[in-house]
Amino acid sequence: MTALGLVLLVPVLMWAAQSAALAVSGRRAVPQLGGRDLPPSAQSALRVATNVGLLAVIASFPLLTGRAPLDYYVSLFPAARAGDALLGLAAAVLFLALLYLAWLATGQVSFEVRHPGRRLVPRLLALVPTAVLVALVEELLFRGVVLAGLAADLGRWPALLVGSLVFAAAHYVRRVKRYWTFPGHVALGVLFSAGYLLTDALWLSCGLHAGGVLMLLGARPFVRYHGPGWLVGASIYPYAGSVGVAALLALAGTLAFQLGGNP
C-alpha cells in the first residue's frame, strides 16, 4: 500500500501549507482546502504545495519500491504500444463529439462565442499543451503509481475499483462547487484504469485523458447547458450526467472488447 500511503500524504501537505499561509496573514486555519474566500497568499501556497506533493509522489514511488524513477516510467511507455495513444485520443474526441452533437440536436445544449477574443485566443492556443501536461501528470500519478501499486497489492480487478475511487476522490479534496458530479469522475477513473490494465502501459490512458481534456476545455468557452444536470452534466463535466456515465462505461467496455482482453 506504498502508493496509496504516499497519495494520502499530499492533502496533509496541502493543508499544512494553506494553514501556514493563513497564519502569516493573521487568520485561523480552516478544515477545508481551497475556496474563493482564501487570501491570495494562501491560494498560492496551496497551489505550490499541490504541485510539489504530486511531483514528489511520482518521483519517490519507484525509489521506495527499489527501482530507478527513469527506468520505471520509461517501462510504462513501451515503444510497441505507442499507437495506443492515438487510439485513445481518437476514441475520446469521437465520444465527446457525438455526445455534444446528440445534445445539440435535442436542444440540451447550445453553442455560441461566450468570451471576447482577447480571452478566447489565449485559451485556444493553450489547449494542446494543457491537455498533454494534465494527461501526463495525472496518468503518471493515478495509473503509473496508484493503480500499479494497488494492482500489485490487491490484484487487477480490486485495483481498478479502488483506483477509480481514489482518482475521483482526489478531485474533491479541495472545495468545489459541485459534489453530485462524483459518479462521473468514478466512471472516468474506470475508463482510464481499464486503458492501463488492458495494455500494461500508459499510452492508451494518456491518449484518452488528453483527448478528453482537449474537447472539454475546447468546448467550454462556447457551450451553454440547458438540459437538467442529471442528464447532461454541467460546465466542464458533461460526463457527470447519467448519459455521460453510461457512455464512459460503454467506451471502457468497447475498448476491452476491441483489445481482446479484460482488466
Q: Is it the case that residue 178 has pLDDT exceeding 70?
A: yes
pTM above 0.85, yes or no: yes
Q: Which pLDDT score, from 0 to 100, does residue 17 have?
A: 96
Give the whole-number percent of the chain exceeding pLDDT 70.
98
Grid coordinates given for 189: 477513473
Query: For the chain, how many residues are written?
Result: 263
pLDDT grade for 219, boundaries at 50, 70 and 90: confident
Provide mean pLDDT across the span 80-109: 92
- Residue in 64, 61, 56 with CA at minimum distance from that of residue 73: 61
Q: Which pLDDT score, from 0 to 100, does residue 203 have?
A: 98
For 5, 142, 171, the CA distances from 158, given in Å and listed in that order, are: 17, 15, 21
DSSP state of 111: E
Q: Is it the case that residue 156 has pLDDT exceeding 70?
A: yes
Q: Which pLDDT score, from 0 to 100, does residue 75 have?
A: 96
pLDDT grade for 262, boundaries at 50, 70 and 90: very low
Q: Is it the case that residue 49 has pLDDT exceeding 90?
A: yes
| 175: region left, alpha or beta (phi > 0 left; psi from -120 to 50 alpha) | beta
Grid coordinates given for 241: 450526467
Q: What is the mean pLDDT of the chain?
A: 91
3-state SS, residue 224: strand
Q: Is it the case that residue 46 has pLDDT exceeding 80?
A: yes
- Residue in 128, 229, 131, 227 with CA at minimum distance from that of residue 178: 229
Model pLDDT for residues 111-150, shown as the tens digit of each residue: 888 777 778 888 889 999 999 999 999 999 999 999 999 9
Q: Which pLDDT score, from 0 to 100, does residue 261 have?
A: 53
Angle subtended at Cα 226 by Cα 221 and Cα 231, rounded to the nearest 5 degrees? 105
Model pLDDT for residues 228-255, shown as the tens digit of each residue: 888 888 767 888 889 889 989 999 998 8
